[in-house]
Amino acid sequence: MKHDIVIIGGGPAGLAAAVAAFDGGVKDVVILERGEELGGILNQCIHNGFGLTRFKESLSGPEYAERFIDKVRERGIKYYLETTVISLDKNKTVKAVNPELGFFTIEAKSIILAMGCRERSRGALNVAGTRPAGIYSAGTAQKYVNVKGYMPGKEVVILGSGDIGLIMARRMTLEGAKVHAVCEIMPYSSGLKRNIVQCLDDFGIPLYLNHTITKIEGTDRVTGVTISEVDAQKRPITGTERHFSCDTVLFSVGLIPENELTKSCGITLSPKTRGAVVSQTRETMERGIFACGNVLQVHDLVDFVSEEAEIAGRYSAQYVLNGEGVYDFLDTQAGDNISYVLPQKINKGVDGNVKLFFRVKNTFKNCTIRIKSGNEVILERKKKIAVPGEMETLILTADKVQNLSSPVTVELEV
């Protein structure tokens, strides 16, 4: 079959991209979703706090998703559920499989990658000890409790203080479990401050910074863990061991963009974001293939995912309607104390402001963030506090973009 725009992923990014592409003038848009329903990960994020930027209300994940699902339905945008994309190539041919159609092929004019991200696994962490049952990623536990209605355990220790881990500390406590500790190897939490307060402090759950799990015990089922403080090189310090009896260990140690398809298609990825290299239109280095949301960069807030997806949707529609535009790229780069900058390319052939997203490497107080083009400072902002857990943004106005002649660097000075 043939479709103008194929969107891979029906989570928040795919939904917002579909609506924006449709409203941008392309009516033949189809969403391919792996799960049994639209909404993606939002369906299991039943806590509130979504949509404050976008809707000026505090919504739960499913409520936020429903606002976009309604828009998709109102427009009659087609979607296939339980559909796994098997391959994707540079000619924009998508091969997929689902129970209804079996194996099928779609030739698209433009593709939007919106596959989201997955959790880093315990395997990537190398914790010593046995491999008993009772070890879950925080997101898996979230799905069990919230969607399947089943508690993975009663006595819990959480490794990593990512937002999902913090949210699950509260969630399991509310459902009657005892969460003994959250331990974080870094000197700061990677979660939002509000989640430290409302998920840990509210329930008296201790957060051990500069700590990691050094041993997991149990043969069939987890029976306990040992945590230790780490030194500046992240090596456990002997003598600081602390033992907890528990039947469950949750890992919340970060998210990685889900880019197997992107890679197999040969699309250039950034080693820093682990997502595709894109320009401000969210077009990858393959013409007509766009990427948005957590498959591109792991966002803190779904509101920003929607915003980014709308950019991708709009430009994907323009690509279908007008064909290739003008490409005149300048690189962006991460300077001192900055871990990455997105977009990695600024296309001067595209009108309008460019919003730069970036993360800082550490916690900084009273610092200055600067954007330079070559040696020339083009924008400067003072910040009282900047933390790695919260994405920073700065806008380069259209006139500034037009005057750029050398690569753009974002740097932070203390």
Interface residues with other proteins (CB under 8 A)? 43, 46-49, 52, 58-63, 66, 145-149, 171, 174-176, 192-194, 196-198, 202, 300-301, 390
10: left (phi over 0), alpha (psi -120 to 50) or beta: alpha
Cα Rg of the chain (Å, integer): 22
Q: How far is CA 399 from CA 68, 314, 350, 403, in A?
A: 33, 22, 12, 6
- By C-alpha distance, which of 249, 378, 333, 316 is closest to 114? 316
Q: C-beta of 172: minimal distance to other proteins in Å?
A: 11
Q: Which C-beta is closer to other proteins: that of 125 or that of 209?
A: 209
Q: Which C-beta is closer to other proteins: that of 166 or that of 265?
A: 166
Q: C-beta of 198: minimal distance to other proteins in Å?
A: 5
Q: How many other C-beta atoms can be found within 10 angstroms of the C-beta atom of residue 358?
A: 23
Q: Which C-beta is closer to other proteins: that of 46 or that of 125?
A: 46
Q: How far apart (Å, rounded) are the C-alpha atoms in residues 37 and 382?
A: 44
Q: C-beta of 45: minimal distance to other proteins in Å?
A: 9
Q: Which C-beta is closer to other proteins: that of 196 or that of 296?
A: 196
| Structural contact between residues 317 and 338, judged by C-beta atoms closer than 8 angstroms | no
β-sheet with 155-159: strand ranges across: 135-137, 248-251, 155-159, 178-184, 207-209
| Structural contact between residues 117 and 257, judged by C-beta atoms closer than 8 angstroms | yes
Q: C-beta of 69: minimal distance to other proteins in Å?
A: 9
- By C-alpha distance, which of 274, 49, 252 is closest to 142? 252
Q: C-beta of 197: minimal distance to other proteins in Å?
A: 5
Q: Which C-beta is closer to other proteins: that of 150 or that of 395?
A: 150
Q: C-beta of 164: minimal distance to other proteins in Å?
A: 14
Q: Which C-beta is closer to other proteins: that of 172 or that of 222?
A: 172
Q: Which C-beta is closer to other proteins: that of 197 or that of 377?
A: 197
- By C-alpha distance, which of 390, 391, 392, 393 is closest to 195? 390
Q: C-beta of 187: minimal distance to other proteins in Å?
A: 18
